[in-house]
């Protein structure tokens, strides 16, 4: 999609994010329902296990496309800055936790928490933008 304005890039972003979240929720509930009742097995379990993660990949794709389609260079810089804060935050915590887990100092945490940390970092990046540049960047 070629976006001719920031509003169009925003609309495309919200649409992509909305679809990703809808697929995520549907996949999660469907998987939980079918697996808890032992209604599926074999390759279908793999498919059900992959779907929620792929939906979150869709959310990352939506943010990547927002960066490439946003024409306003200042806003684009803010969003890139947010993703850098998010990536640094998530990878740092995941690495520290991983070593602590290795030394049996903390309990095991499922790997998908890295994505949750990333989105938390994305919010922290918006606050950082606001403090540094007077504008939030991307909040939704």
Residues contributing to the site for other proteins (CB under 8 A): 5-6, 71-75, 77, 132-135
Question: Which residue, 75 or 90, has its beta carbon nearer to other proteins?
Answer: 75
Least distance in Å: CB of 127 to other proteins?
A: 15
**Long-range pairs for 111-115: beta carbons < 8 A, 24 or more residues apart:** 112/52, 112/53, 112/56, 114/90, 115/56, 115/90
Question: Which residue, 72 or 101, has its beta carbon nearer to other proteins?
Answer: 72
Question: Which residue, 108 or 140, has its beta carbon nearer to other proteins?
Answer: 140
d(CA 138, CA 140): 6
Contact yes or no for 87/118 (Cβ under 8 A): yes
Question: Which residue, 9 or 117, has its beta carbon nearer to other proteins?
Answer: 9
Question: Which residue, 57 or 71, has its beta carbon nearer to other proteins?
Answer: 71
Least distance in Å: CB of 80 to other proteins?
A: 13
Contact yes or no for 79/70 (Cβ under 8 A): yes
Contact yes or no for 48/34 (Cβ under 8 A): yes
d(CA 27, CA 34): 10
Least distance in Å: CB of 16 to other proteins?
A: 21
Contact yes or no for 3/66 (Cβ under 8 A): no
């Amino acid at each position: 999609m070629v976006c001719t304005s920031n509003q169009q890039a925003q609309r495309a972003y919200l649409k992509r994010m909305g679809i990703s979240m809808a697929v995520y929720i549907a996949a999660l509930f469907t998987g939980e329902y079918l697996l808890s009742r032992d209604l599926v097995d074999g390759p279908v379990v793999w498919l059900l296990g992959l779907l929620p993660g792929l939906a979150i990949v869709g959310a990352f794709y939506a943010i990547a496309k927002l960066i490439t389609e946003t024409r306003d260079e200042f806003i684009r810089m803010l969003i890139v800055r947010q993703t850098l804060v998010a990536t640094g935050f998530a990878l740092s915590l995941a690495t520290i936790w991983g070593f602590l887990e290795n030394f049996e100092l903390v309990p095991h945490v499922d790997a998908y928490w890295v994505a949750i940390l990333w989105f938390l970092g994305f919010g922290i990046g918006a606050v950082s933008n606001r403090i540094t540049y007077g504008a939030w960047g991307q909040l939704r």
